Chains A and B, each alone.
Chain A
């Protein structure tokens, strides 16, 4: 009997115990779990689980950093500038500086309105970028940050990677199930790390960054 660990939140599926309260009998093998089974804690797909004590696979090898950084030191786009400004607004809010917070938000709104909308947006494009982040962007940044032992950057990358995996799981499900997956259920975003929870019973703490769930924000639908 083996155990499988969720790489996003650390939930452990133990074949020996199953999950009786969810109708999974003790002794249910991993491969016998339905393909659309997701982590009961964070909603990650089966593919995001790893066998506990499993051998290190090839793609877990430390990637070599790609030092093409100078070309990336480009000017920030208007949307990136809006990100910078909401980040600074957050920083001022945490320092209890209401005037600075309001001003940075104002500036962020300006940059957001100055940014051009994405051309011909679709879900496949999103999945494409997510894949690129998981295969290239995040491992590359991880390698560079570990080289110089930048713990802060590594922390942000751990959170980003986990949240990105969740987005991948959600988008994969959405492609299959469509809007049915969102019917009569709440959609929440963790305002600290960006983790998305779909369901009505929020976990006590965020499965990714462990912040208490009152920091989650409910997302309302929007017409487009």
Chain B
């Protein structure tokens, strides 16, 4: 739902002041009766409480206006021209009736142009119109600054759109992290269930883990985070380097200080393996066009990767025949 804020119609307000009692932030209590947009959190409590229905909740962003066909616009513009001419003629005539007719035609003309594609001040049509005013030569007295300010104020709507896109991007990445975490968690639970012989539960955990992988991959893709393979390698190098240089060293120290030997080992294995990964990524990036087949061997204990099967793991000493070939 679009974010909203409260506005008060002062003509309808009967000063029952219920809005002052219910507002959680004090936004409704102002010396000029205009509800403070900065303070309003859009909860709508004031609008619900107002006995005179003087408060409305209005959105920050309006939906796009209705599309108009060229034919409708053309027919309405012809009528606009006539009403405008009548306004002009009436303006040149004396008396109250002429003054009323001038006003009446202006109001009809406004309504007609509104229906000819100029309903919403925040619409693209209005932006195009305002920008065209700046491009064209204008006579003296043209309020250029007013037009520039209007363009800025009314296109804020579009910037807000971009900001909400950014929020969605943030949400996608949060969801990606959560789903990725759930995938590893369920994989660990599945292994445990297998050990306990609870094979049906293990199956469920594996299926759920795979499901979370699907979600994570989709979120990541929608967030637009997958680049070319060269880009992805560079991102891999960045991530692994950060982990082995910045993230793990203080983690290891902290675990040592706390005497948590298992954590020291877990962090150290990972730190050393990440360094290897980063070097392998660099190597792959340099040989991106190499089509000759390469084999990789993964240490199942510490996560070390070698390009040949070693006698034993250089990080954790596990025997080379345990390595998994890729």
Of B78, B93, B120, B150, most buried by chain A (CB within 10 Å of CB) is B78
| Cβ B150 vs Cβ A103 within 8 A | yes
B103's partner among A65, A170, A217, A224 (CB-CB below 8 A) is A217
Q: Does A19 count as interface, using CB distance less than 8 angstroms? A: no
Question: A9 contacts which chain B residues (CB < 8 A)?
Answer: none
Q: Decide yes or no whether A41 CB sits under 8 A from chain B.
A: no
Nearest to A217 among chain B residues (CB) is B103
Residues of B within 8 A of A189 (CB): 100, 103-104, 107
Docked-complex contact B58 and A77, CB < 8 angstroms: no
Chain B residue nearest to A80 in the complex (CB): B84
**Dominant SS at the B interface?**
helix
- Cβ-defined contact, B77 with A121, below 8 A: no
Q: Is the CB of A150 within 8 A of B68?
A: yes
Complex CA distance for A98 and B18, rounded to whole angstroms: 25
The CA-CA distance from A187 to B90 in the complex, in Å, is 15
Q: Which residues of A contact B141 (CB under 8 A)?
A: 110, 113-114
- What's the Cα separation between A113 and B106 when bound, in Å? 15
Q: A110-B141, A148-B69 are in contact. Are A141 and B84 (CB under 8 A)?
A: no
Q: Give the residue of B75, B84, B85, B107 whose beta carbon is less than 8 angstroms from that of A192.
A: B107
Contacts of B154 in A (CB 8 A): 100
B95/A133 in contact, CB under 8 A: no
Q: Hey, what's the 0/1 contact readout for B113-149 against A, CB within 8 Å counting as 1?
A: 1111011110000100100000000010111001101
Smallest CB separation, A51 vs chain B (Å):
28
Contacts of B94 in A (CB 8 A): 222-224
Does A55 touch B at the CB level, under 8 Å?
no
* A141 CB contacts on chain B under 8 angstroms: 72, 75-76, 78-79
Q: List 9 A-B contacts (CB under 8 A).
A: A65-B75, A77-B84, A80-B109, A90-B110, A100-B153, A141-B79, A148-B72, A187-B97, A189-B100
Which residues of B are in contact with A by a Cβ distance under 8 Å? 7, 11, 34, 58, 62, 66, 68-97, 99-101, 103-116, 118-121, 126, 129, 139, 141-143, 146-147, 149-150, 153-154
Extra contacts besides A88-B126, A193-B111, A196-B100 (7): CB < 8 Å: A103-B143, A137-B79, A144-B72, A144-B74, A156-B111, A163-B108, A171-B101
